[in-house]
Amino acid sequence: MPSFQNSDFPNAPHGWDMQAAVNAAEQSGIELTDDHWEAIAGLQEYFSKHEFGKRRELVDALDEKFYQKGGTRYLYQLFPGGPVAQGCVIAGLQPPSGSVDKSFGSVV
């Protein structure tokens, strides 16, 4: 059971809850850990402050947030389909344009 609760996601999009994230993650073969939940909360917070998310800016913000654990490289271990593309889907968000490009390894 995660140490996070629905109340830990004040920036979640309407209709999203933790079970929706668990279901989306399971469809991708991901078992959510505390670091996944932290990344999900970070994605939701970013989108609450930026009407139109910019992929590069979002990657940089996530990289900084997880710098001590390995940054972007670590995030790809959490979300093999891409921390922005796959992370956004699990977080109940629309990935920014350019995030889903199968020619660059995104599988979402």
Q: Is residue 1 predicted with pLDDT exceeding 50?
A: no
Q: Are 84 and 95 in contact (CB under 8 A)?
A: yes
Give the pLDDT of residue 102.
54
pLDDT digits (tens, 9 = 90+) for 55-89: 788 888 889 999 999 999 999 999 999 998 999 99
pTM metric for this prediction: 0.83
Say whether pLDDT at 90 is over 90: yes
- Angle at the Cα of 79 from the Cα atoms of 70 and 9, rounded to 5 degrees: 95
Q: Which SS3 state, helix, strand or coil, does residue 45 take?
A: helix
Please name the helix (run of DSSP H) or strand (run of DSSP E) that holds residue 74, with its range, or none: helix 71-78
Q: Is the pLDDT of residue 100 over 80?
A: no
Whole-angstrom Cα distance, residue 80 to residue 72? 11
Mean pLDDT of the chain: 85
Residues 6 or more apart whose CB falls under 8 angstroms from that of 60 comprise none
Distance in angstroms (rounded) separating the CA atoms of residues 53 and 33 = 25
Please check the confidence at residue 29 and state whether its pLDDT lies above 90.
yes
The tokens of 41 are what? 């909360």
| C-alpha span between 65 and 43 (Å, rounded) | 11
Q: What is the pLDDT of residue 54?
A: 74
